[in-house]
Amino acid sequence: MAPVLQVEGLESGYGEVQVLWSIGLEVQPGKLTTIIGANGAGKTTTLRTLMGSLRPWRGRVRMNGEDVTNLSPHARANRGLVLVPEGRQLFPDMSVEENLEMGAYSQRARKRKKDNLERVYQTFPRLKERRKQRSITLSGGEQQMLAMGRGLMQEPVVLMIDELSLGLAPVLAQQLFLTLKTFREQGLTIVLVEQNVHLALALSDYTYVFAEGRVELEGASREVANNDEVRRAYLGL
């Protein structure tokens, strides 16, 4: 099966500081692909470059065979590439529902705005209960639900999530991971950058291990979880 997202020789950075060095990734449709690595390994930079908010220095990004390397973030979103960013980046003074509606800005998402809003409320009933509240009044877990819901409103083909469990209690993190499992079972393609390596490896299909801006190791998540180097460095075993 052809990859829905393919990255070849991707290099990028900030100013004159290079962060990514010849990154290669393949994301299969309907699978959950996770990226793990130490802080500063280039994980978030990779997602920002894939989304187009950070311009690549070299390399190619293809989505369903189309070269999207030089497209704007808006154009990529119109093709179904969606990023749930680290830190959620909600509109604090807008209501929950207004935040969700902001996700349906692209032409392809506007057509199914009503259906997708209902899908979000079915997935996260708590958001429906709080739909008139300002997002700043939500708990951390509820804000992450809202960020994920806004991503779903964009009608994603590939949903990229940066640090799903950051700052959340373990029980909330587990609940959100189970939600990701449901998304995958429904056929959604997911790319996850995650600090909770135990949960990421247990849930995902394929894993890339980053180190100093390079892909250090890759493979089926079950095999990566059994790798002695990964077990020592990330699992504390």
What's the CATH number where 216 sits? 3.40.50.300
Percentage of the chain modeled with pLDDT above 70 = 99
pLDDT at 207: 97
Average pLDDT over residues 120-140: 95
Last residue of a domain, one of 121, 155, 189: 155
Q: pLDDT category, 218, cuts 50, 70, 90?
A: very high
Q: pLDDT category, 106, cuts 50, 70, 90?
A: confident
Last residue of a domain, one of 155, 173, 195: 155
Instruction: Tell me the average pLDDT of the chain.
Output: 93
Q: Is the pLDDT of residue 237 over 80?
A: no
| Alpha carbons 21 and 231: distance in angstroms, whole number | 24
DSSP annotation of 16 reads T
Q: pLDDT category, 96, cuts 50, 70, 90?
A: very high
Q: Using an 8 Å Cβ cutoff, are 22 and 10 in contact?
A: yes
Clarify whether residues 145 and 199 are in a common domain. no
Clarify whether residues 36 and 52 are in a common domain. yes
| Alpha carbons 11 and 8: distance in angstroms, whole number | 9
Percentage of the chain modeled with pLDDT above 90 = 81
Clarify whether residues 161 and 237 are in a common domain. yes
Q: Is the pLDDT of residue 195 over 70?
A: yes
218: CB partners within 8 A, 6+ apart: 206, 207, 208, 209, 224
pLDDT tens-digit readout, 1-53 = 799 999 999 999 999 999 999 999 999 999 999 999 988 999 999 999 999 99
| Alpha carbons 219 and 176: distance in angstroms, whole number | 24
Number of structural domains found in the chain:
2
Last residue of a domain, one of 155, 177, 195: 155
pLDDT tens-digit readout, 55-92 = 999 999 999 999 999 999 999 999 999 999 987 789 99
Task: At 124, list the tokens.
Answer: 């996260």
Q: Using an 8 Å Cβ cutoff, are 5 and 158 in contact?
A: yes
Clarify whether residues 108 and 181 are in a common domain. no
Clarify whether residues 36 and 73 are in a common domain. yes
**Domain membership of residue 148 as a residue range:** 88-155
Q: pLDDT category, 132, cuts 50, 70, 90?
A: very high
DSSP annotation of 159 reads E
Clarify whether residues 151 and 168 are in a common domain. no
Clarify whether residues 48 and 119 are in a common domain. no
Clarify whether residues 123 and 167 are in a common domain. no
